[in-house]
Amino acid sequence: MRNRQNLNERVSGVLLPVASLKSEFGIGSLGKEAYRFAQLLAGAGQRLWQVLPLTICDFVNSPYASPSAFAGNHLLIDPKLLCDEGLLYKSELTENRKSAYAGGNRDDRIDYEYAGRVKDKLLRLAYDRFLQKGKQSEDYNEFISRERGWLNDFALYWSLKRHFGGSPYWEWPDDARDKKRAVSKYSRSMQSEMGYVVFCQYIFNRQLNALRGELSRLGILLVGDIPFYVAHDSADVWAHPELFLLDSRSRPKLVAGVPPDFFSKTGQLWGNPIYDWARMCEDGFKWWMSRLSRCGRLYDITRLDHFRAFDSYYTIPAGAQDAVNGKWRRGVGRDFFDILKKRLPKLNLIAEDLGDVTRSALALRDYAGLPGMKILQFAFDSDADNQFLPHNYARNTVGYLGTHDNDTTAGWWRSIDDETRQKAADYLGIAAFDGVKQVVRRMMTALSASVADYVIFTMQDLRVEGSEKRINTPSTTGCWEYMVEPRAEDFVWLEKITRLYGRAPKHGDEAAEGKINDTK
């Protein structure tokens, strides 16, 4: 399967979660701050905006263990846009902005607690006015029809979760834990709450589509992300237990993770339930095809997180205290991508092929025709054959200084040992004692000058921010809180190297004129 992006030349872009855009409501949104960021990207000649998964976050605010693999994060809805269409009043927005500061809202970090509380209040007011309008729009009905494969299940699951005080679904009564019995007993009594959940998903979808329309006009593709596994406590596992290796009480028989390595002597115990791949294969991976089809409606390009697991995946006995005694199992491999090619031929994908990736996983990536990823921060711990050095890149590659899981480049530079620092300095043509700003710029230049078709920089690196601004430190808490208000001056160097190394839109090209084909 070949990657089918409508891009035939070198491009670059920026990684910044939507949630990280500074807002008066505690979290970024799909509204005016996103439109302003898009304008800044376009002005600097950028063609890609990479975001994290736009699904609902888990209890530690990670978007990689969502309670739904399909539902959009309603906290990203912009109340100001609802005000523009008469579903909210300006006085209500003003009142809640003031409440934020009165409540001690931090203006330099995402405040999930405040955002959840206030946006739920505002969205319920908007839903009441939406109902008062009477007959629903054709757009609303089309949304329900198009997304019915997951929407009703999620609406009931989310309503039941609220009803049972947020407890995980396996702790619910038997008549709620079993989906068929829950539909029979609770659907009628939960009708109002389910309607509200559907409304939030509709508004999220509508605001995202409007933003994507503006991005297309500006010649920018939205790069999204799909985690490989889903959370145990999710609408997906609750609604489709037959697709996972669970016991009679909905508990996983095996869980996901990765084995011990240089970074962790006990490995990583993620805890996600393992797919019953044999069962999924019987219907042509229908659930996965639906999930990826949904990604095609959310994003222009989707990054497949933990790509290696399609080739081989690591399983750990349920109840284990660490990941030491796990076992590698054979993944679905080429059969999956053959079906994907037939079912979703226009889907654009990136393979996250980092970490301990085997030759067979790389062969699968190449068979699927997907670009892989290279991280420049990983390039200076060996010799000239290091795969992460820019002179070793292939064209079908997405290059980064670092991603959301890495330290910022400024933080990385300050933390590395003298030997690594000297190797990096020699390669970049700088002195090991040069200032951090000079180092970051030279690394950006080296990446942009590489043959990689796609390069993406984090917002923190454009601003030369330190470790305190990194988005995530794996296996720790207190992450996912980075918030920023992008400025035009942040893009000056990026625009310079983008145009210098031929990554800016060409005069008259279709993308620059907003004619990029949709991947829906």
Active-site residues, by number, are 305, 352, 405
Of residues 351, 316, 358, the one with CA closest to residue 228: 351
Q: Please state, in angstroms and rounded to a whole number, the distance separating the CA atoms of residues 160 and 172.
A: 9
Residues in the chain: 520
3-state SS of 196-244?
HHHHHHHHHHHHHHHHHHHHHHHCCEEEEEECCCCCCCCHHHHHCHHHE
233: exposed, middle or buried (C-beta count within 10 Å: 0-12, 13-18, 19+)? buried
The first and second tokens of residue 239, run together, are: 């609604």
Q: How far is CA 294 from the centre of its chain?
A: 13
CA 144 to CA 156: how far, in whole Å? 14
Distant-in-sequence, close-in-space partners of 14: CB < 8 Å, separation ≥ 6: 41, 46, 48, 49, 50, 456, 457, 458, 459, 462, 494
Quick one: tokens of 31?
A: 């509204």
H-helix segments, 72-147 = 79-84, 90-102, 112-132, 138-146
Distance CA 512, CA 500 (A): 17
- How far is residue 98's CA from residue 208's CA, in Å, rounded to a whole number? 27
Provide DSSP, 363-391: HHHHHHT--EEEEGGGTTSS-TT-TTSGG
Task: Please say whether the dihedral angle defined by the alpha carbons of residues 151, 152, 157 and 158, taken in this order, is positive or negative.
Answer: positive
Cβ count near 76 (within 10 Å): 26
> Residues 6 or more apart from 376 whose CB is under 8 A from it?
388, 390, 399, 400, 401, 402, 443, 446, 447
Alpha-carbon span 162 to 160, nearest angstrom: 5
Question: What is the residue-wise DSSP string for 324-352?
Answer: TT-EEEE--HHHHHHHHHHH-TT--EEE-
CA angle in degrees (0–180, nearest 5) for 25-294-70:
55
- Cβ burial of 284 (10 Å; 0-12, 13-18, 19+) is middle
Distances (CA, A) of 360 to 310, 333, 356: 10, 9, 12
- Nearest one of 362, 434, 509, 387 to 47, comparing CA atoms: 509
**Please, are residues 452 and 395 in contact by the beta-carbon 8 Å criterion?**
yes
